[in-house]
Structure 1
């Protein structure tokens, strides 16, 4: 009789996320010189023209201090440029540089390969079910009105 699957879902999610992040970071660093966290920020800047650091923090679900450090690394690497916001005195607008666009382009094939490997591991139905379940979990508190307290 096969062993019962581990019922510690949160632990399994943490472990899977950690393993996937390490593997994806290694591959994205090799392909494009950026981590998955940096790629997430680059995609957000690309997809939302006029994005401020505050809006980037909300988009990524990170604290403002973490985004300040992330944006600092991206600007130091020449992947993102900051400019004064036209209406908000203290805000800055983030823009993708040519190097940032190139990093996204270079990472694309590796991201596609990584997703294809996961799809192959889980099967098409399993991949779709996992994506739907993780989406629900990622938005559970914000959509359901649940609050921890």
Structure 2
């Protein structure tokens, strides 16, 4: 018989559970229509308008096929516009529409609130260390996929 592990001591299980908590809070308090990944796309386009999908994928740490589907959906909903790059006709540049900008502005306050709510679950002296640890884990993912 195989030895069973207590998964509550394994980082992958705990990260997955933490993501489930975040997703539930997002759906409850931020949006049922716009996912946190779509929010990341909108936010990245607000910070760097006029990027192509490859750059957007890198900025959001999402794979290109996922970004492609999200951009298509957000474009169909009128939140993102696609413009042909005049310098390189093969590239399509992305920008938020006025509707997309308004949507992002409406989503930011509740997104900040659930971020604060999750951080408040930790003792104050552990918050910065926890964020730093999660950033380090995320950067490790960039190194292993060659996106660094």
TM range (shorter): 0.7 to 0.9
Question: Which structure 2 residue ranges, 5 or more long, are not aligned?
Answer: 1-5
Higher alpha-carbon deviation: 86-95 or 4-13: 4-13
State the alpha-carbon separation in 1 of the partners of residues 121 and 145 from structure 2.
33
Quote how far apart the aligned CAs of 1:13 are.
Answer: 0.8
> SS of the residue aligned with 1:62?
coil
Higher alpha-carbon deviation: 134-143 or 34-43: 134-143
- Aligned structure 1 segments of 4 or more residues deviating by more than 4 angstroms: none
**Match runs of 1:65-80 below 5 Å:** 65-80=65-80
State the alpha-carbon separation in 1 of the partners of residues 118 and 54 from structure 2.
33
Higher alpha-carbon deviation: 54-63 or 42-51: 54-63
Aligned pair partner of 2:25 in 23, 26, 34: 23
Change (3 A) 1:63 1:120: closer
**Match runs of 1:6-17 below 5 Å:** 6-17=8-19
> SS of the residue aligned with 1:140?
helix
Partner of 2:114: 114
How many aligned residue pairs are there? 141
How well do the aligned residues superpose, as a CA RMSD in angstroms? 2.2
TM-score (norm 1): 0.84
State the alpha-carbon separation in 2 of the partners of residues 16 and 107 from structure 1.
21
Quote how far apart the aligned CAs of 1:122 are.
Answer: 0.8
Partner of 2:90: 90
TM-score (norm 2): 0.84
